[in-house]
Chains A and B, each alone.
Chain A
Amino acid sequence: MEIINQEPVKINQKWCKGCGICTSFCRQEALALNEQGRAVLARPEKCNRCGLCEDLCPDYVLTVVDRVQHREPDQPNGSGWPGIVAPRLADRQVKPGGEGPGTGALPKSELERYLRREKMPHLWCAGCGNGLVVHALLKAIHQLSLDQNKIVAVAGIGCAGRAAGYLDFDTLHTTHGRALAFATGVKLSRPELTVIVLMGDGDAAAIGGNHLIHAARRNIDLTAIVFNNSIYGMTGGQYSPLTPPASRGTTAPYGNIERPFDLPALVQGAGGTYVARATTYHTRLLADLIKGGLTHRGFAFIEAITYCPTAFGRQNKAGSPADALRWQRDRAMNIQAYRRLAHDEKKDRFPIGLLYCSEAPEYGASYSALAAK
């Protein structure tokens, strides 16, 4: 039996990579790593069932039994998700810090419904944030009760692109940068399917940048999630169009001299009608925003700020995966609060939340209308 039933935390040690996120975030110091570097509940009596470890484990190892509900309830009106979600999210005042982890976990038993278990644990490095993005996606899908048989996940090439292989939907792992174009074909031939596109930052913004702006311009009904880890992870750490200035890449050994894209601004400028950003620390916000994207009729774009401890972290001495999550927590700021900042106060912050939302004709709908004439 691989699940160690150690109340109050169930631990699936086989999937644990010893990244240290859970132990670092557990305020009660209930968790520890054993000699093999796997998580154990060293002091069960100290656990207050807050569930933070469950939310922040990128490898779906931990389940907190009877976790306490705190902060905001997961669904805004408590009774399922309203039909059109985006404007509500925009209206909603999300308190800074209120969108962090702590609520709305997808219980492991439910999460595993959406995973190809035989392929787990996933291939991502210890502490890689990609698992957190996938967790948020599955949470959103679960909460919307979407039909698993009617979802197609289309992914590009790179570490992020490997997400598709773990998802128990129809999944399409395409060529580098082209996921949105493949997804366009899937969506147009079967409009009833929910089509989700998973891309890395190089995938979406460098080699696939043209497809990104054109998918946004057409406002085609896809939900695109960019795993922005600021680097080319799969190929070992070359700089990407999202690498911050002066950060190192293996192809920027003296520091990056290029200016990065502001991806949400790019997508908005290109005509995207739902533009959002969250981090892997803000797990619930990320899931909410994905949920909003999935219910939005048109091109929905969600930038997930994530951390690559291996290809970005090492050469930039950016710290442990837990440090990176704290960095995300401290630097990211809710968009409403961010807008109120003075110009120079914005310097070291970046906005998260629903950044832009509008309505425009959706490509598939326009095509159907034309065909009906």
Chain B
Amino acid sequence: MTTRLRLMQGNEAVAEAALAAGARFFAGYPITPSTEIAEIMAARLPAAGGCFIQMEDEIASLATVIGASLAGKKAFTATSGPGFSLMQENIGFAVMAEVPCVIVNVQRLGPSTGIPTAPGQGDVMQARWGTHGDHPMVVFCPSSVREAYDLTVQAFNVAERLRTPVVVLLDEIVAHMREGVELPAPGDLEIVSRPRPAGPPGSCPAYRPIENEVPAVPNFGDGYRFHVTGLAHDETGLPTNSTQVADALVRRLHRKVELFRREITFTRAYLLEDAQVAVIAYGSVARSARQAVKEARAYGVRAGLLQLQTIWPFPQEEIAALSSRVKKLVVAEMNLGQVQAEIERIVSGRARVVSLTNAGGRLFTPGEIRQAIGAVSRGHLKKVVHQ
């Protein structure tokens, strides 16, 4: 009997998931700690009938991915902080021109070159707001190898369904650690492809929304002869200077994600039913947090964990509901409080929010988080803890 159990890295899981989700195009530029994804795609895509290309930089990488997607391929790229910074302009293009694509950002310690081999979670806000202008973003954040697989498949599905770029935000630990995982059989996965035009060329403007505010934009080469631009445009795709048309477009881009919010907001609750203190964490930190919660319970503290798998759109309903039940929240993250500030905004005083921060590229130990849980439950800890 063959088993699908395999020992693999987070980066490997991302690559496998991309292939399983139908990705047949990868363009990228080497950067630690994401490079394994490019290496695997370079090895696997030719035989899979796809195409790999190493571009001259990350700006070109995402541009090439967008071009490939417009010609009908499921396409993605993978990078880390410095490269993610270079991609920002074209991420905005993909939002505006509604081009499905996936961008994997394996976070390392920043700013700038930082510590390339150290983990970080400092790109949470960049992933949300890195490109200019009002725009929606969908960002997933796995904390295990299996989650890296599942959320990458989701990323492609959401990108295709909503015709929007989706970011998979790993951190170096999740990307490089190895776990034994059993991958779903290919037939068991739900794979989504972009909506295709129902009628022949000329029957419907390329950018007219068809269902749930998403247009069925044709692929290049299929005879529809349409225009794609990052300029504000009308339903035909051709540019406009009308402020009303531009306003309606930007609002529709948001609405299509908003309409789908429930279906793409993933969180995992651990021992929250009776919790008096809740930890909120994501990525590799959620792993320490889970252990910390377990240990705190052994000490008699009723602790629980809310793990965020979707960071954007922000899981505000889940957090609002949590804060109405649990009055003490500990937010642990490998940055100086990027998610904590968002939580503070949603909780707006209904619960105490204590922030556990770390900007040195070091993973929190379960002990550190457990101590914070203990201190908070005894009322000793009021605000920020800098590790």
- Residues of A with Cβ closer than 8 Å to B? 116, 119, 148-150, 152, 154, 164-165, 168-175, 178, 181-190, 192-193, 210-211, 214, 367, 370-371, 373
Known: A185-B75, A188-B64. 18 other contacts (CB 8 A): A148-B225, A168-B225, A170-B220, A171-B226, A171-B227, A172-B227, A173-B228, A175-B93, A178-B59, A182-B67, A184-B55, A185-B27, A185-B65, A185-B67, A190-B221, A193-B71, A193-B221, A211-B56
By size class, the interface of chain B is 35 or more
Across the interface, A182 reaches (CB within 8 A) one of B47, B64, B238, namely B64
Interface 1/0s, chain B 51-68, versus A by CB < 8 A?
Answer: 101011101110111111
Across the interface, A188 reaches (CB within 8 A) one of B51, B59, B231, namely B51
Determine whether the beta carbon of B238 is less than 8 Å from that of A178.
no
Cα of A185 to Cα of B72 in the assembled complex, Å: 10
Check: B280 CB closer than 8 A to any chain A CB: no
27 contacts across the A-B interface (CB closer than 8 A): A119-B238, A152-B71, A165-B227, A170-B221, A171-B226, A172-B70, A173-B229, A181-B55, A182-B66, A182-B67, A183-B67, A184-B27, A184-B55, A184-B63, A184-B67, A185-B27, A185-B65, A185-B71, A185-B75, A186-B71, A187-B67, A188-B68, A189-B51, A190-B221, A210-B56, A211-B63, A370-B46
Across the interface, B67 reaches (CB within 8 A) one of A154, A168, A173, namely A154
Residues in A whose Cβ lies below 8 Å from that of B220: 152, 170, 172, 186, 190, 193
Q: How far is the CB of A9 from chain B (nearest CB, A)?
A: 31
Residues in A whose Cβ lies below 8 Å from that of B239: 165, 173
Residues in A whose Cβ lies below 8 Å from that of B61: 181
Q: A148-B225, A214-B60 are in contact. Are A367 and B51 (CB under 8 A)?
A: yes
Check: B69 CB closer than 8 A to any chain A CB: yes
Closest A residue by C-beta to B93: A175
Interface of A is mostly: helix
Residue from the set B49, B64, B67, B68 with the largest chain A CB neighbour count within 10 Å: B67
Across the interface, A174 reaches (CB within 8 A) one of B57, B65, B73, B230, namely B230
Determine whether the beta carbon of B67 is less than 8 Å from that of A189.
yes
Which 5 A-B residue pairings sit nearest by Cβ, starting from the closest? A185-B67, A181-B63, A185-B68, A181-B60, A185-B64
Interface 1/0s, chain B 214-233, versus A by CB < 8 A?
Answer: 00000011111111111100
Across the interface, B53 reaches (CB within 8 A) one of A119, A188, A211, namely A188
Q: How far is the CB of A344 from chain B (nearest CB, A)?
A: 39
Q: How far is the CB of A106 from chain B (nearest CB, A)?
A: 19
Across the interface, A172 reaches (CB within 8 A) one of B24, B46, B67, namely B67
Check: B235 CB closer than 8 A to any chain A CB: no
